[in-house]
Amino acid sequence: MTEQEQKKAAKEFVKQWAGRGYEKGESQPFWISLLQDVFGVDKPTEYITFEQQVHLDHTAFIDGYINATKVMIEQKSIDKDLRKPIRQSDDTLLTPFQQAKRYITELPLSKHPRWVVT
């Protein structure tokens, strides 16, 4: 994909996803489309893993993880303020970034992300 084709694909992607962003129903299609249509990843479902289990005092799930680039994704719906704490399933209040940090502590060192996307 040329730079010009990628820019065009990115603009189309933005139009397609404008105003959308339901965490539970659109997170996976969003990331698959971004990786495939904008970044040219041939087999995005082999490049990113979704809902990876993390064992805290309860079982939690990492929304997305890209092993090749060490990127952890903690997706939230479009209406969520990423700076405000959100009540978790164990009743704690955490921002999405704090939630990701909590997951990181339970991963082997080799799986610690270089970047966290919220």
| pLDDT surpassing 90 at residue 102 | yes
Instruction: Kindly provide the residue ranges of all beta strands, DSSP E only, lying in the chain, ordered along the sequence.
Output: 49-55, 59-66, 71-73, 86-87, 93-94, 115-117
> Region 27-53: what's the mean pLDDT?
97
User: Do residues 66 and 48 touch, judged by C-beta distance below 8 A?
Assistant: yes
What integer best gives the mean pLDDT of the chain?
95
The verdict on pTM exceeding 0.85 is yes
- The arithmetic mean of pLDDT across residues 38-53, rounded, is 97
Please choose, from the candidates 63, 10, 68, 62, the residue with its C-alpha nearest in 3D space to the C-alpha of residue 44.
Answer: 68
Q: Is the pLDDT of residue 21 over 90?
A: no
